[in-house]
Each structure stands twice: as C-alpha cells, then as structure tokens.
Amino acid sequence: MDILHERCAGLDISKKDAKACVRTPSTKRRGSFTTETTTWGATTNVVLALRDHLLAAEVTLVVIEATSDYWKPYYYVLAEDLNVILVNARQVKNLPGRKTDVSDAAWLAQLGSHGLVRPSFVPPQPVRELRDLTRARTTTTRERARVAQRLEKLLEDTGLKLSAVASDIMGVSGRAMLEALTAGERDPQVLAELAKRKLRNKIPELTEALTGRFREHHAFLVRLYLDQYDHLTTMIDQLAGRIEEAMAPFGDALGLLDTVPGINRGVAEVIVAETGGDMARFASAKHLASWAGVCPGHHESAGRTKNTKVRPGNPYLKGALGLAAFGAARTKDTYLQARYKRLAARRGPMRALVAVEHSIIIAIWHMLTDHVPYHELGGAYFTQRDPERATRQAISRLNELGYRVTLNPIDTSA
C-alpha cells in the first residue's frame, strides 16, 4: 500500500495524558518503519513540549482520535504549526484483542501514513464560539423545561390539578397563582380569579382544580423552583443577546433560512452555528445530510436489507432539524406538509418526520450554496405530479366506503 506520509504521528488521548506514537522510516532497513511511543501530560506547557517534539521529528501529519472533549487542548495547540486532523473513533477502530492506548496510537499513525483516515469537520474559532453559545442556550432551555416538569410533579403531590386546566403552568395566569400560593393564599376561589384572558372562561374548573393540600413544605419547594426558573430565563436572555451579536456576519444565511417553512430564528441560528453557514466543506447535499444524521442506514446482506435506521450525527443539528420538521408538518398548504402526510400514512409519523428533516437539510445545502431563497412547491405538488395516481387513490378510498364512482371529466376549454 502506498505511503502518503513517511513521518506520521498518532495521538490516543485520555483526560490526564496522551500516548504519542511517531512513525518514521527506519535507518537500518529500506522500506521499513520504526515507531516511538511516549506519554505526555494534558497541561498546556506539556502540550507545547509535545509540539516541539513532533516538529523535531519532522512529522507531516498528526492524527488525533476524537475522545469526548479531551482532544481540544492538543488539537488547538498542535494545529498552529502542524498538519493535524481529527478523526471519528468509530471509523478508526483497532483490531479485536489489541486494545491498549499504546497500540491505538500506533494504529492511528499507521492509518494516517497510508491516508486511510477521513478528517472530521472542526470549524474555525468564530464558529466554535458561536457553537458554544447556541449549545449553551439549548442546554439551558432544556433544563428550564425540566424545572417546570419538576414543579408540575410537585403540584401533583399537593392535589392541585392546575396543569389539567391551564396548558402552561408557567404562563402569566399560572405564574400569578403559584406566586400567590407561595405568599400564603389558599382560597381556591381567590386563586382562580387571578386567571387572565381566555383562561377566565375556566374559572369554575380552576376553582375545582386549585382545591388541594398545599402546605408550607410545598410553598418552600415551589419558591425554589420558581427562582431557579427565573435564573435560567435570565441566562437564556443573556445568551440570546450574545448570539445576536455573534450572528452579525451570517445575516444573509439567516435571511435565506427564514424562508423555509418550520424554521424560526432560533432554529436558523443553530443550523448556522453547527454548519458554519458555508456549504463548501460538504461535497454535496447528501454529504451534509449524512453528517447531520438524517440519512437512512444501509445494511444489506445477501440481497436483503436488514437495517435502515438513521446513522448517528450531530445531535444539536439533528435536534434543530426535528423542531423545523415538526413545525413544517403543521404549516398548511406546503410541500413539506404534503410530504409528511403522504409518508405518515404508510410509514408512520416518526419516519415521516425524519424524511421531512432530510428534505429540509437538502434544501438548505442548495439554498446556501446557490444563495437563493426557498422555493415553495405547494401542497398540491404530489397531486399535480401524478394526477392519475391521485385519482386511483381517491376512487379506491370511496370504494372502501361503499360508493361506486363514475368519473366525468370537466371541459376546461369552455
């Protein structure tokens, strides 16, 4: 097998240290190679010493296996002066029975020397910082939702069924009632009168639902949960402001993404942060869909397809696409809604949502590559594409209901 890098290094990284294997041509026998494996710490000064060691060895490629976040101190320092690539651990698995840190480092160096590794996408620093912000907002938003769930669970212990009447217990009305409960108010009628707007139509139901066994113990816990909820809300607002500033260079991409049904500002920001807003690094729309993890799996043996589950992908991008697909499926008279309904009837709602996610990410690649807005095909796209099939399906459904149908074409020339 051809040698692309005669001097190559492989790094197997853990939390405390890294095993560095340097593979260089042998001075004793032509065509053979020698390996030298050393252990280096994870502090910045030691990583700088490792960089000097690799430069002295004149390596032309350094292969680092992506292990949690432990690869970052090594990658960021070494990439300043060396050709460094980050590889997915799933794609560089060692042979069974040879699993040690030293053998893994040697295996990475050997794969890198033959060019058998594919680099992972590591965005530039501005995009990495933007990712940190959007991911922090996503995590904080999920944590705030969990606080609301804990609060609802606590109310169940008191016998108060507020969530059975109010769709959002943390809305204006629900929050006012919870504040009154923590302040000592226990009269269900007084609490129900705090309802606002449309919820006032349910005052009798609220009075019944707010009758329970709310004690001082519950008031203490509710107060803690409300304060935690407010703190997380403040964090989300601060992150949103910082994200808006960091998104200034990506205004054009955000404007294009806003034209896609189901994509709002928050989802668009996550898509830009995870992809970098530059489609040049993805060879095709299919490559982007595969990287995002919304492509069906391909596992075929002896002519039989055994597994079609989607492959693992970027979890934050996949989550944003899931929100976009869910919103698009509820947007009336759109191609994406028609695609969802068409597939959900045959394949189920979950697979239909994945298919809509795939359609959205394919459209995004073309939009950001060609710098064009989303082109809506309309909710009648599938009917207009194959009217005969739509006619047969409609007749078949009417026959199932016990009707005999006679078709009389309309004369459109009159």
Look at the block and give the residue holding tokens 């001082």.
Answer: 216
- How far apart, in whole angstroms, are the C-alpha atoms of residue 133 and residue 111? 35
Full DSSP string of 289-300: HHHHT-SPP-EE
Look at the block and give the residue holding tokens 């959205």.
Answer: 360
Look at the block and give the residue holding tokens 């095709």.
Answer: 284
Average pLDDT estimate for 38-44 = 91
SS3 content of the chain, % helix, strand, coil (to 5): 55, 10, 35
Q: How far is CA 131 from CA 42, 137, 238, 262, in A?
A: 24, 10, 15, 21
Average pLDDT estimate for 7-36 = 87
Average pLDDT estimate for 252-259 = 93
What local confidence, expressed as pLDDT, does residue 405 receive? Answer: 81
- How far apart, in whole angstroms, are the C-alpha atoms of residue 19 and residue 11? 6
Query: Per residue in 143-190, pLDDT tens?
Result: 999 999 999 999 999 999 999 999 899 999 999 999 999 999 999 999
Q: Which residue has the higher pLDDT, 31 or 349?
A: 349
What local confidence, expressed as pLDDT, does residue 3 receive? Answer: 83
Query: Per residue in 325-346, pLDDT tens?
Result: 999 999 999 999 999 998 998 8
Query: Per residue in 265-285, pLDDT tens?
Result: 999 999 999 999 889 889 999
Average pLDDT estimate for 82-102 = 76
What domains does the chain contain, in order, with CATH numbers? Answer: 8-113 (3.30.420.10), 126-246 (1.10.287), 251-300+307-370 (no CATH)
- How far apart, in whole angstroms, are the C-alpha atoms of residue 55 and residue 41? 18
Residue 306's pLDDT band (cuts 50, 70, 90): low
Average pLDDT estimate for 238-257 = 94
Residue 360's pLDDT band (cuts 50, 70, 90): very high
Report yes or no: 167 and 280 within 8 Å, Cβ to Cβ. Answer: no
Among 29-33, 111-115, 158-162, which is the least confidently predicted range?
29-33
Is 90 exceeded by the pLDDT of residue 62? yes
Buried b (16+ CB within 10 A) or exposed e, 85-122: bbbeeeebeeeeeeeebebbbbbbbbbbbeeebeeeeb
Among 21-35, 88-102, 368-382, the range with the most confident prediction by mean pLDDT is 368-382
Average pLDDT estimate for 365-374 = 94
Question: Residue 226 corresponds to which tokens in the numbers above?
Answer: 């409300």
Is 80 exceeded by the pLDDT of residue 398? yes
